[in-house]
Amino acid sequence: MSGGLGAARDAIRARNSFLLTSHARPDGDSIGSQLAMAFALDALGKQVRIVNADPPPSNFSEYPGIDRIQVRPTVQIGNHLTGRGTSHGQSSAFPSREDALIVMECGDLKRPGVAGLDPYYTINIDHHIGNTGYGDVNWYDESAAACTEMVFTLIESLGVPISPEMAAHVYLGILTDTGSFHHGSMSARTFEIARRCIEAGVDPAATAQRIFDSNSVGKLRLIGRILDGMQLEAGGRVAVLRLDQALLDATGATMDDTEGLINMPLAAEEIQAVVMFKAEGGELRVSLRSKNGVDVRAVAVKHGGGGHKNASGLTLKDTGADADRALIAQVVEAVQIAG
């Protein structure tokens, strides 16, 4: 087992074919990391395939290479394909197993939600606290604002010029994982990489409009309903939002339309943290957001989740009212600890 940027670079140089994946329910950073890496591997003459458990959000549909992502949940990857699956893009059959697997944005091999990954020689690239170091090569950098920040550095280390397509995906990851430069481990390096992406052809205003200002009417209705039902705790310092399929149906919204909703209450000066309960597929998924010094990751970890200090998530196994209240109380405590 080896680690670091150099080990990841050398492992890639030594191999010819790669399977890329990231976490289920992909976001801008997971999609951006995979596709920026794919274009770089293309430039090196490598063979590349991308397999995810879930399709990319619809507002990423115009990004270059998005149709390369194969959506194949619960299928066996490799020579013995026996499961079933669908494809977001290419529908070709699986070839023989690739030389290596590159997993991005995942603390362990369960996070992708794709079967058959265990046998691969694995390169693990991540910026989340708590990564389990499951790869043959492990490179994680908790100081990176986004995984695409690491991918940019790796592409440069491989000696590949940054193309407009790579830059578009790197910038997508940084923009979305920092909440439009509102939170995360932002540094001078983050803004230097953003500057380099703009030099390579990214239009920051057009990108922000595509990601944040291209909502459906259903989403606008959903925003009104979910904020109208917002619950305030701790003297108005903690906001609680609740979402289920019935609310989506009533507003004409889709699950894609829920992206970014959790950040809206933080626009109020007094609100320091937000809890969103989302009933989805028989599970109660919980997203946590905060600002300033409020550490919501510490709450998520108690329930088997994780993420960043100001942006984390978890799945509640106990969906009863008491568990709901207990988690809210823990977020309130985190706010109080932060002062």
Q: Say whether pTM exceeds 0.85.
A: no
Q: State yes or no: pLDDT of 80 exceeds 50.
A: no
Domain boundary among the residues 177, 211, 245 is at 211
153 and 135 within one domain: yes
Give me the pLDDT at residue 321, please: 66
Report the DSSP beta bridge partners of residue 288: 275, 312
One-letter amino acid for residue 260 of the chain: G
Domain boundary among the residues 191, 211, 231 is at 211
CATH code: domain of residue 242: 3.10.310.30
Q: How many Å separate Cα 273 from the centre of its chain?
A: 20
pLDDT interval class at 317 (50, 70, 90): confident
Tens of pLDDT, residue by residue over 25-43, are 899 999 999 999 999 999 9
Domain boundary among the residues 211, 234, 269 is at 211
Tens of pLDDT, residue by residue over 131-181, are 889 999 999 999 999 999 999 999 999 999 999 999 999 999 999 999 889
Give me the pLDDT at residue 233, please: 96
- Summary mean pLDDT of the chain: 89
Closest C-alpha among 49, 17, 22 to residue 33: 22
% the chain with pLDDT above 70: 91
Give me the pLDDT at residue 88, please: 47
% the chain with pLDDT above 90: 69
Could you identify the residue written with the tokens 């439009």?
A: 180
320 and 202 within one domain: no
CATH code: domain of residue 132: 3.90.1640.10
197 and 227 within one domain: no
The rounded radius of gyration (Å) of the Cα atoms in the chain is: 20
Q: State yes or no: pLDDT of 319 exceeds 70.
A: no
Contact call for residues 296 and 334 (beta carbons, < 8 A): yes
Give me the pLDDT at residue 304, please: 86
Instruction: Please name the residue ranges forming H helices in the chain.
Output: 5-13, 28-43, 147-157, 164-177, 188-199, 204-212, 217-228, 245-251, 297-302, 321-338
234 and 196 within one domain: no
Give me the pLDDT at residue 124, please: 97
Q: State yes or no: pLDDT of 79 exceeds 70.
A: no
Tens of pLDDT, residue by residue over 223-265, are 999 999 999 999 999 999 999 999 999 999 988 888 889 999 9
Both structure tokens of 261: 């909703």
12 and 152 within one domain: yes
290 and 204 within one domain: no
182 and 311 within one domain: no
183 and 57 within one domain: yes
Tens of pLDDT, residue by residue over 260-284, are 899 999 999 999 999 999 987 777 8
Domain count, the chain: 2
d(CA 76, CA 14): 25
306: containing domain: 217-338
Tens of pLDDT, residue by residue over 183-208, are 878 999 999 999 999 999 999 999 99
Tens of pLDDT, residue by residue over 91-143, are 333 444 899 999 999 999 988 989 889 899 999 999 988 888 999 999 999 99
- 21-31 burial: b if 16+ Cβ within 10 Å, else e: bbbbbbbbbbb
